[in-house]
Structure 1
Amino acid sequence: MTAPTQSKSAAAIDAAAATGRAAFIGYLPAGYPDKETCIQAAIALIEGGADILEVGIPYSDPVMDGPVIQQATTEVLARGFRISEVFDIVRAVTEATGAAVLVMTYYNIIDRMGAEEFARRLAEAGGAGAITPDLIPDEAADWIAATDKYGLDRVFLSAPTSSPERAELVARSSRGFVYGVSIMGVTGARESVSAVAEEVVAASKSAGAPRVCVGLGVSSRSHVEEIGSYADGVIVGTALVAALRDGGAEAVGQLARELSGNS
């Protein structure tokens, strides 16, 4: 297949910027609480105002995830989840909405399938690319080659502890955007967003990153507005997963409208 010439997630972020706002990026676990409800929730999320969707692959040792997401993914794994479901979900949501859909996964899952095979299947499903929170660019040669071949975005993380040299390598190696980690810890809704988030964005921009999106701890419209004043995108996960748990796809759509200011 012919690789696309433009990053889907970059295009979505730039389109949001053209209207004077930061992009709203929403996360949902693949297959939670079941495949069809996950697809419905994802479509509701996008229709509610999300510019980009992150679909998280359930993993047995989710070191970066907080209790809400851990519980959701544990339930999905217990019912016999298979990786092929992820590609089904990406395809269904992409065909229904045309949105940029990224997979978020620990790299072991990609490595086990093979970077080339994973990239091929993701591209064929219409996916925009992947976020790999535990993969550093220094060890990503296979993944970089595969994503280059299939024109997929590859999103690496930059943290408050990243050195200027590390921030520069992440900026140079990422395609689509850099994921700015706002706190040192696991995911989860918080009352306030860490003050270092703005510093992470500034450091990444200084290192050459054209787009930096911030996640971890975002749970309210005020958080979205605060982060959106200095970042190119705002990533919301735990609050949306809790809404899905408590109220299904309809609740996800409602929260998306609140977070995006479309309510």
Structure 2
Amino acid sequence: MLRRPGLGVYLLAGWPSEKAYREAVAGMDGLVDFFELGIPSPNPKYDGPFIRKAHREVSAPVWDKPSAPTYLMGYWEDARGRPADLFERAASLGARGVLLPDLLIDFPEELDIYLKLTRENGLAPVFFLPSKFPYALAKRLAASQPDFIYIGLYAATGIELPVYVERNVKIMRELAPDVYIVAGFAVDSPAKAAKLVRAGADGVVVGTAFMRRLQKDVREALAFLAEVKKALLDL
């Protein structure tokens, strides 16, 4: 069971360098409640410009992870030629599940393949839904007893658009009252993270805001996570 309210962090495997990545992951122990370990992709189409650039900068992935529950995060488009390899890697790394932002957007007809591979490898299902999602699909996902359902708030990571994000969180809470709901994309301040939890999210994920700081200094990036964590604990 993930902590409520929970702080999640996304970091691309091995970025910005092997040394900085390992230091950052080590510093997350006791600080983050779950971790999204990004798989480098040649076409990270639902990431924003900053993270898309980071994908191109990874020379060799590093698969270190913190002690917190970890989920591999990649693209189904990259794995669908040999999808079993992805789930076997997740299991071998001790991850709890595989999160695929494009699965239900571009390949919804392959959901059953995802669920089958998840079960066969002893993993927990986790799902990403875009800001506009079919209510019937949300209910079906909730029935599969996922570790969480991640609601993307904007069109791409790190890019904020003028939409009423709290509304989506509240709708998902009504559709799936017992499911752990994660909100992410453009969560760049402790105040914004706290606002999403007050709207009904169980956890928030920071990615771009953390990675921007990590590129400058590991300590600055970890201090930012501590500030977000404190805002959640103070609720």
Shorter-chain TM-score tier: 0.7 to 0.9
Alignment CA distance shift 1:252-1:193 (3 Å) = farther
Alignment CA distance shift 1:253-1:189 (3 Å) = farther
Counterparts of 1:24-103 in structure 2, within 5 Å, are 24-47=7-30, 49-76=31-58, 79=59, 81=60, 85=61, 89=63, 92-93=64-65, 97-103=66-72
Partner in structure 2 of residue 233 of structure 1: 203
Counterparts of 1:124-139 in structure 2, within 5 Å, are 124-136=92-104, 137-139=108-110
Alignment CA distance shift 1:189-1:164 (3 Å) = closer
CA drift at 1:168: 1.7
Say which SS state the counterpart of residue 10 (structure 2) adopts. Answer: strand
Q: Deviations over 1:34-70 (max 9, x none)?
A: 23421221222344x2111111112122111112111
Q: Give distance in 2, aligned partners of 1:39 and 1:62.
A: 23
CA drift at 1:194: 4.5
Are 2:145 and 2:179, in contact at CA under 8 Å, matched by a contact in 1? no
Q: Give distance in 1, aligned partners of 2:194 and 2:77.
A: 35
**Structure 1, unaligned runs of 5 or more:** 1-10
Say which SS state the counterpart of residue 226 (structure 2) adopts. Answer: helix
**Structure 2, unaligned runs of 5 or more:** none
Q: Give distance in 1, aligned partners of 2:226 and 2:132.
A: 34
CA drift at 1:173: 4.2
Say which SS state the counterpart of residue 42 (structure 1) adopts. Answer: helix
Counterparts of 1:10-25 in structure 2, within 5 Å, are 11-12=1-2, 16-17=3-4, 22-25=5-8
Match of 1:169 among 117, 137, 140: 140
Counterparts of 1:207-218 in structure 2, within 5 Å, are 207-208=175-176, 210-218=179-187
Give the CA RMSD over aligned residues. 2.3
Which of the pair is proportionally richer in helix?
A: 1
Q: Give distance in 2, aligned partners of 1:189 and 1:256.
A: 19
Alignment CA distance shift 1:152-1:144 (3 Å) = same
Count of aligned residue pairs for this structure pair: 227
Q: Deviations over 1:135-178 (max 9, x none)?
A: 02531222211111222123222233212222223323462100
Q: Deviations over 1:117-138 (max 9, x none)?
A: 3212211211111110000253
Partner in structure 1 of residue 190 of structure 2: 221
Partner in structure 1 of residue 86 of structure 2: 118
Return the TM-score normalized by structure 1: 0.78
CA drift at 1:193: 8.2
Are 2:186 and 2:209, in contact at CA under 8 Å, matched by a contact in 1? no
Alignment CA distance shift 1:122-1:186 (3 Å) = same
Are 2:34 and 2:68, in contact at CA under 8 Å, matched by a contact in 1? yes
Q: Give distance in 1, aligned partners of 2:134 and 2:113.
A: 24
Q: Give distance in 1, aligned partners of 2:99 and 2:47.
A: 14
CA drift at 1:234: 0.6
Amino acid at match of 2:42: S
